[in-house]
């Protein structure tokens, strides 16, 4: 068994945003203790204002903690060498609107000291990876749709092939297909051994991809642990089968009732609307593609 190291570790991490006077101070985070292991997808959950984005900014060194400390990849948060191994997808796509996708990625690649050939390779690869249509790559980002901008933002986060990817609301502004694609990408990143810290208030996103999570409320951890453990209802048993006749159903219910089972419910499972939507759009897209 391979030992897992902490990709992120925080100790008593606290952030108070100063106000003009003491009464206007805002407590954003209070004594957060967090540990994210290498190779896992970790979810930060919470309603608006619970401290998710503040935690991420502290981990990136964009803001300074009021108390406590944070280690990222074993180094102090905000260390320049550590940032070489981090990719960050901000909550909204904060990109230069006057640049096109290629120029944007080229700029961020330069910040990683990539040479010209490396930059060209990385830009093309990650634009393909995030699925940005080649036709729009030369257009200014200011003219992009929200989904296209989000894809460029995701590409810039992956550009340096980071070991740790921090995603703040990765699916915000995306259509359901885009959401599914992003979730698929996160899955692929996990397969490639990357650590992903995911912050979201879209519970479905977290549920689909995360291994572990914490739920923050007003800057404090309310609940945390492995997703499977947290969501599993140990007292309930569910059976799913095809070609079950009404008679067999009656028999199964009778057997269960006879053996002391309580609150028995039966019914037909439903597909998720997200899956139905994706299936429909995929079929349409396939039909639109020219036949060779």
Q: Kindly list the residues in this chain that would bind another protein in the complex (CB under 8 A).
A: 57, 60-64, 80-81, 83-84, 86, 88, 90, 92, 94-96, 98-99, 103, 107-108, 110-113, 153, 156
Q: What angle do CA 201, 94, 54 make, to 5 degrees?
A: 45
In 3D space, the residue among 79, 194, 98, 187 whose CA is nearest the CA of residue 141 turns out to be 98
Q: Which is nearer to another protein, 103 or 172 (CB)?
A: 103
Q: Which is nearer to another protein, 101 or 227 (CB)?
A: 101
Q: Which is nearer to another protein, 159 or 180 (CB)?
A: 159
Q: Which is nearer to another protein, 90 or 219 (CB)?
A: 90
Structure tokens at 185: 């990408």
| Least separation in angstroms between CB 166 and another protein | 8
Torsion of CA 132, 127, 39, 207, to 10 degrees: -10
| Least separation in angstroms between CB 141 and another protein | 11
- The SS3 assignment for 193 reads coil
| Least separation in angstroms between CB 102 and another protein | 13
User: How many alpha carbons lie under 13 Å from residue 138 in its C-beta half-sphere?
Assistant: 2
| Least separation in angstroms between CB 134 and another protein | 22
Q: Which is nearer to another protein, 102 or 212 (CB)?
A: 102
- 32 touches 10 (CB < 8 A): yes
**217 burial type by CB count under 10 A (0-12 exposed, 13-18 middle, 19+ buried):** middle
In 3D space, the residue among 1, 12, 117, 109 whose CA is nearest the CA of residue 58 turns out to be 12
| Least separation in angstroms between CB 260 and another protein | 57
């Amino acid at each position: 068994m391979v030992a897992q190291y902490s990709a992120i570790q925080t100790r008593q991490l606290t952030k108070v945003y100063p106000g003009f006077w003491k009464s206007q101070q805002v407590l954003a985070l209070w004594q957060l203790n967090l540990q994210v292991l290498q190779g896992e997808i970790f979810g930060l959950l919470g309603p608006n204002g619970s401290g998710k984005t503040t935690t991420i900014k502290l981990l990136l060194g964009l803001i300074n903690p009021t108390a406590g400390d944070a280690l990222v990849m074993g180094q102090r948060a905000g260390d320049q060498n550590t940032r070489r191994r981090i990719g960050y997808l901000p909550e909204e796509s904060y990109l230069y609107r006057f640049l096109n996708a290629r120029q944007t990625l080229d700029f961020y690649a330069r910040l990683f000291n990539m040479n010209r050939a490396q930059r060209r390779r990385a830009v093309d690869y990650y634009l393909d990876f995030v699925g940005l249509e080649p036709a729009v790559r030369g257009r200014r980002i200011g003219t992009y749709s929200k989904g296209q901008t989000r894809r460029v933002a995701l590409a810039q986060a992956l550009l340096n092939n980071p070991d740790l990817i921090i995603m703040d609301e990765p699916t915000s502004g995306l259509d359901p297909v885009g959401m599914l694609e992003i979730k698929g990408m996160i899955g692929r990143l996990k397969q490639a051994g990357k650590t992903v810290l995911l912050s979201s208030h879209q519970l479905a996103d977290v549920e689909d991809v995360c291994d572990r999570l914490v739920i923050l409320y007003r800057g404090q951890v309310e609940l945390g642990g492995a997703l499977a453990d947290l969501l599993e209802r140990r007292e309930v048993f569910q059976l799913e089968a095809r070609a079950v006749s009404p008679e067999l159903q009656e028999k199964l219910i009778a057997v269960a009732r006879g053996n002391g089972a309580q609150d028995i419910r039966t019914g037909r499972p439903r597909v998720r609307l997200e899956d139905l939507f994706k299936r429909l759009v995929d079929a349409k897209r396939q039909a639109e593609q020219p036949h060779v």
